[in-house]
Structure 1
Amino acid sequence: MSTVRLDRATTEAEHFVEQFFGGALSVVEYGVAFVLVLSVLVFIHEWGHYYIARRCGVQIESFSIGFGPELFGITDRAGTRWKFCLIPLGGYVKMLGDADPASMPSEAVATMSEEDKSNSFFYKSVGQRSAIVLAGPMANFIFAIAVFFVMFMTVGETFTPARISGVAPDTPAAAAGFESGDVVLAVDGRSIHRFEELQKNIRINAGSEVTITVDRDGRNVNLPVTPAVRVIDDGFGGKGQIGFLGVYGPSAPARVAEIEPDSMEEAAGLQPGDLIVELNGDLVYSASDLNNKIRDKADQPVSLTVLRGVDADVAGPEDAPADAEQVRIVLRPAPYTLGGEAEEGAEPATNTDEAEVVGTLPGIAWAPLPNITRIYSNPFHAAYRAVSETYSIGASTVTAIGQLLTGDRSVKELGGPLKIARISGDVAKQNVLSLLHFMVLLSINLGLINLLPVPVLDGGHLVFYALEALRGKPVSLRMQEYSFRVGLALVLCLMIFATWNDLAQFFGIGA
């Protein structure tokens, strides 16, 4: 009986490895990627502590990547042991007087000589100790800013104007009164310059009301809206939730690139190069806007106003020259039956349980989108954008943490080391830029998590130092010890829970 159970367990383990990582060889690849990514970020974090500690005259006994037994290392001239340890899930800088990686004071602190006191972390001023502790998270943020700074100058970034080219029916955007042609200016007072920024703000605010300010025909309009909650597959066996609004971003202009021979569009008089600017008297801003407007007009006569002979850089009615040749075309959009599955090609997709007949123009191939550009920043603008992007990601992370605490976001979305390993391997297989971007995201998250006011984390130490500054004396060692034990228990429980989430999502437990 035990042999059968062992065989079954072995089979399930092999199935998990095969499905989650893609086989034994991939386990090694993912493991190497995970260790490299985490080791670099941990080194950066601990280097922040190390650098400021040395500047403050603190003697560093060891600089460790990982926990547990040492695998290998070297000792420098200052007596610091630089080492890699067996368990690659963190790291620490052990300073003179530390009893453990959590920087609890050892018994020797009370009997130190004057010379040792001058080199010990625990005899430095509150300001110096705070600076040393804060330096770790700050190093993670500085790393993110530095990577973004280089990327914005050398690789550039996609820039899509924050212009709404269409509004999907029966969506939060439609209910809130958004219109084609609206230009988004701000979300809850935060300036929006790119459509990508609008998307990020909406994704993180699923189910929470936001006020979006748009420019409509030269006047500012505030539109309160609550993004609907969409549950999506996270690609790793689990589910996540994001917000969606129901607007189309800058889309391909409603300019005809090609006409299918002998189609009803050709018979109606449309020609390649025509720019459709009106449907039944309503302005048309893009191909997606037109497709949305004819959706409920299957096999019904519609009147199109097209501009003929205009330059290729004219993308919509707002760009049209006053003397452009206008041609009126009448046709009937062809009926097309949808049913049961999500439509493709538009955001958001609409799920239907019953068949639906929509109007289409199947004989037209639209001109490509001209509005998306790649911009490269000069050093000054790159520095501004790097700080801005780091702040934006950090703010989104803080919002997500708050949603977890209030129950607005499911704790099942928490990922553990297995999920991080999987993502590390996947992005490493793509390209260096994807890997760097993932490392930046992870670095910002690492910095923020360490600032949480939990004893054993940097934020917990800072709370004790703040209390010491207010009271004029340190918090008792016994209180610190008990607090660190509770903090360590909380961190371990969180790691166990996150790892359980990884396993539960893969095996479908509780789904």
Structure 2
Amino acid sequence: MTETPGIIMTVLSFLLVIGPLIFIHEMGHYLAGRACGVKADVFSIGFGRELFGWTDRRGTRWKVGWMPIGGYVKFAGDMNPASTPTTEWLALPAAERARTFQAKSVWQRFLIVLAGPATNFLFAILVFCAVFATLGEPTTPPVIAGVQPGSPAAAAGLRAGDRITSVSGRAIGRFEQIQDIVQIRPGERMTLAVERDGRTMSLPIVTGSQLLRDRFGNEMRIGRLGILAGRGEMRKLGPTEVVGASLRYTVNAVGMMIETTAQIIRGQRAASEMGGPLKIAQVSGQQASMGWFEFIWFMTMISINLGFINLLPVPLLDGGHLFFYAIEAVRRRPLEPRVQEWAFRSGLAMLLSLMLFVTFNDLGSFGLWRTLAGLIG
């Protein structure tokens, strides 16, 4: 029987995950804009009708909207999605116009937009730093303690005592790195560099595929080799090692997201595995029911995910703006407003389509479509 944390815990957990992360993201934009001398008209968590808010002495309206999925900072003069000058902007007094977003140089606008995703990554790095400084880093030598009979490892000729030094060209220093690489690559061909009795050999292997189901009924297909790890330890890290490990974990998490996204595009992974806000809400409640550490860890992964998604070169996302600013820096002038408007309209259609698709997936993972089929049948 699967466990269910309950609707109240699910909703509260979702708000505790998404609310602070949106605030962190938008605060990055806000602080960078303020450092560049840009006035912020609105700082909003959520969209739609304002539930409550206040206006600070700088004239910024801080508010919370009734729809908590997303947020934004509206800078002075930012009057259209392409952030191109308008007649209204040109009509502003010179002193007021100097405090607007469009008045800033391309590199300042680039930094203001980049600061949002960068702050999401910074949050993850700080959480990792706190974990590693307190608990240490899990470290297990990459030496095989045992091989499961009939497994891909057994078929490849791996033995107990073998030390794996690289996986498909990626250097290995800890057993945990092997797990990170293999688990997102079920059914893929790899090459292992192995040290055995003082000799180095190269062994081809095809990862196995295993469907895991957790206590909440969530299913995930992962790659397996069929090798057992030896005894590990929590290694205490020095200050510089803590920062280095935190950066490494963040970069590895982004790499895994890039790889799984590429697998979906190539058809190696089912598109049904993509989840949206409803799935995040469900898993938020599940992680919260497991304890504060699991909840914070999940929140950290979502923060990295938000940073990664926002850097994709899709119009309307931060990455789309950054792409246009890069073009502007090379051309010494921005793209024509008509081109930018067309791109942002296309980006909006793409994002709406993706939102509908992941919502359809989320409802399917909740069993809605099976239930409806049963009622109709």
State whether structure 2 residue 42 is matched by structure 1 residue 182. no
* Residue from 194, 197, 202 that aligns with 1:214: 194
Q: Is the 8 A contact 1:149 1:386 kept in 2?
A: yes
Letter in 2 for 1:40: P
What SS does structure 1 have at the residue aligned with 2:144?
coil
Would the alpha carbon gap of residues 206 and 444 (structure 1) be closer, same or farther in structure 2, given more than 3 Å must change?
same
Q: Is the 8 A contact 1:390 1:444 kept in 2?
A: yes
* C-alpha separation in 2, matches of 1:499 and 1:101: 25
Q: Is the 8 A contact 2:82 2:337 kept in 1?
A: no
Deviation of the 1:35 alpha carbon: 0.9
Deviation of the 1:249 alpha carbon: 1.7
Would the alpha carbon gap of residues 41 and 101 (structure 1) be closer, same or farther in structure 2, given more than 3 Å must change?
farther
Alignment-derived partner of residue 362 in structure 2:
502
What SS does structure 2 have at the residue aligned with 1:121?
coil
Q: Is the 8 A contact 1:236 1:506 kept in 2?
A: no
State whether structure 2 residue 25 is matched by structure 1 residue 45. yes
Alignment-derived partner of residue 418 in structure 1:
278
* Residue from 33, 46, 50 that aligns with 2:13: 33
Deviation of the 1:385 alpha carbon: 0.4
Deviation of the 1:188 alpha carbon: 2.6
Q: Is the 8 A contact 2:42 2:61 kept in 1?
A: yes
The list of structure 1 runs, each at least 4 consecutive aligned residues, that deviate by more than 6 angstroms after superposition, is none
* C-alpha separation in 1, matches of 2:325 and 2:118: 17
Structure 1: gaps spanning 5 or more residues: 1-18, 251-370
Alignment-derived partner of residue 56 in structure 1:
36
Give per-residue Cα distances to partners, 1:168-189, cap 9 Å, x unaligned. Answer: 2332212222111111222233
Bigger relative contact order, structure 1 or 2 (CA pairs below 8 A, ≥6 apart): 2
Alignment-derived partner of residue 128 in structure 1:
108
Aligned CA-pair RMSD: 2.1
* Residue from 305, 313, 325 that aligns with 1:445: 305
State whether structure 2 residue 38 is matched by structure 1 residue 71. no
State whether structure 2 residue 21 is matched by structure 1 residue 161. no
Q: Is the 8 A contact 1:158 1:375 kept in 2?
A: yes
Alignment-derived partner of residue 469 in structure 1:
329
* C-alpha separation in 2, matches of 1:107 and 1:233: 58
Give per-residue Cα distances to partners, 1:398-429, cap 9 Å, x unaligned. Answer: 10111111111110001121211111112122
Would the alpha carbon gap of residues 228 and 105 (structure 1) be closer, same or farther in structure 2, given more than 3 Å must change?
farther
Give per-residue Cα distances to partners, 1:201-245, cap 9 Å, x unaligned. Answer: 101122222222222122332222221233333666564321111
Deviation of the 1:148 alpha carbon: 0.4
What SS does structure 2 have at the residue aligned with 1:30?
helix
Alignment-derived partner of residue 222 in structure 2:
242
Alignment-derived partner of residue 126 in structure 2:
146
What SS does structure 2 have at the residue aligned with 1:122?
coil
Aligned residues: 370
Greater alpha carbon shift after TM alignment, 175-184 vs 433-442: 175-184
TM-score, normalised to structure 1's length?
0.69
Would the alpha carbon gap of residues 238 and 412 (structure 1) be closer, same or farther in structure 2, given more than 3 Å must change?
farther
Alignment-derived partner of residue 407 in structure 1:
267
* C-alpha separation in 2, matches of 1:411 and 1:233: 18
Letter in 1 for 2:259: T
What SS does structure 2 have at the residue aligned with 1:165?
strand
* C-alpha separation in 2, matches of 1:219 and 1:111: 76
* C-alpha separation in 1, matches of 2:332 and 2:81: 26
Q: Is the 8 A contact 1:207 1:228 kept in 2?
A: yes
Q: Is the 8 A contact 2:83 2:102 kept in 1?
A: no
Letter in 1 for 2:199: R
Deviation of the 1:164 alpha carbon: 0.6
Alignment of 1:80-159 (within 5 A): 80-99=60-79, 108-159=88-139
Q: Is the 8 A contact 1:228 1:244 kept in 2?
A: yes
Alignment of 1:228-307 (within 5 A): 228-233=208-213, 239-250=219-230
Identity %: 45
State whether structure 2 residue 354 is matched by structure 1 residue 374. no
Alignment-derived partner of residue 14 in structure 1:
none
Alignment-derived partner of residue 457 in structure 1:
317
Deviation of the 1:506 alpha carbon: 2.3
* C-alpha separation in 2, matches of 1:239 and 1:412: 11
Greater alpha carbon shift after TM alignment, 158-167 vs 98-107: 98-107
* C-alpha separation in 2, matches of 1:106 and 1:41: 32
Would the alpha carbon gap of residues 125 and 384 (structure 1) be closer, same or farther in structure 2, given more than 3 Å must change?
same
Letter in 2 for 1:385: A
* C-alpha separation in 2, matches of 1:508 and 1:31: 19
TM-score, normalised to structure 2's length?
0.92
Give per-residue Cα distances to partners, 1:339-360, cap 9 Å, x unaligned. Answer: xxxxxxxxxxxxxxxxxxxxxx
Letter in 2 for 1:414: M
Alignment-derived partner of residue 340 in structure 2:
480
* C-alpha separation in 1, matches of 2:4 and 2:99: 47
Which structure shows the higher helix fraction? 2
Would the alpha carbon gap of residues 501 and 391 (structure 1) be closer, same or farther in structure 2, given more than 3 Å must change?
same
Letter in 1 for 2:107: G
Give per-residue Cα distances to partners, 1:335-389, cap 9 Å, x unaligned. Answer: xxxxxxxxxxxxxxxxxxxxxxxxxxxxxxxxxxxx2222221211101100011
Q: Is the 8 A contact 1:233 1:240 kept in 2?
A: yes
* Residue from 257, 277, 300 that aligns with 1:397: 257
State whether structure 2 residue 55 is matched by structure 1 residue 195. no
